[in-house]
Amino acid sequence: MDPNALTHRLVLIATATIAIILIVFALDSAQGLLAPVLAAVVLGVVLAPFADGLERLKIPSAVSALLIMATFLAIACMIFIIIEPTISGAIRNAPVIWQELRTLFDTVRGAVDGVQEIQETVTEALGDGDETAGEAAAVPIPNVMDALSYGPSVLGGILIFVGTLYFFLATRHDVYARLSRFVPILTESLLRQAEARVSRYFLAISIVNACFGAIVMVAMSILGMPQPVMWGMAAFLLNFLLYLGPAMVASSLLLVGVIVFDGAMSVAPMAIYILFNMIEAQFVTPTFVGRHMALNPLMVFLSLVFWLWLWGPIGGLVAIPLLVWARFILSKGNDTDVPEPTPHDDA
């Protein structure tokens, strides 16, 4: 190979690596602004078919965006109304839950006394173990004012999300047209086809999550858990929040299980849910979504890991839609299974 060509290639690789590092740093630093914006755009792409359907009924884009926003907020409020009694009940029963958990922890701790004794022996051998442990344990506990200090940032993120979602739905055709002028390869037709591909992904994952929620509902009903419909709904909705959502459901099942059941049966609901979730997450979803969207399951997993590491729960929500969108764009729209969209006049 020509030394000049090799040097040029190494320079390109180094430049691309630095650019990627800077982009990741920027995404992490501007999370408070970019995360709600990107989440709103992804949700807008998912809801785009509904906006197109309303526009075909001769409803103006601004009105259709408002109707979709109102429907989305109404569904969110309905879900909150359904789960609020359960949350309030858990708060009222917090002392009972804590006592049951203490009994469970005491049982587990009794089984590992030998390990604890070894740990104490090692700590004494290292010296100054008590002082070090005391310093490490002196972790400040957040108070009410610390919790309230997050209020403005959370409210700001919600306002950014709602505003971006509305204006994206109302003006996305203009956004695509203007974006195609700045980046010629991103034609409006290609962006519309990528939008349809992401919507198909969301439909696929929604079917998987709906079946998973139904299975969890039946299992909880057989076990005798209270409100099995609510558990099925929680499994369905929180499964969109990959990893963290299932962890929240599993923790809730453990808390309710120690109240409803006695002994080993108290962990049965959580254990059964984790078993079903492992089957769904490790086999069903990667295979079904990967094949349906022509994605490598490894790329699906790595995308989830990266965005969860970068943005946490919001990253988990946008990871796969972004992967589907980016993969289609990078392929330059060579697929022909998505119908050509109807062109729109520029504003």
The band of 339, judged by pLDDT with boundaries at 50, 70 and 90, is very low
pLDDT of 342: 44
The number of beta carbons lying within 10 Å of the beta carbon of residue 253 is 26
**Distance, CA of 330 to CA of 334 (rounded, Å):** 10
Between 142 and 37, name the one with better pLDDT.
37
CA distances from 46 to 10, 63, 216, 337 (A): 40, 18, 26, 18
Angle between helices 297-311 and 3-29 (to 10 degrees): 50
pLDDT of 132: 45
Helix, strand, coil percentages (3-state) for the chain, rounded to 5, are: 85, 0, 15
pLDDT tens column, 217-246: 999 999 999 889 889 988 998 888 777 789
pLDDT tens column, 88-99: 766 676 676 667
The model's pTM is 0.69
Mean pLDDT, range 63-68, rounded to an integer: 92
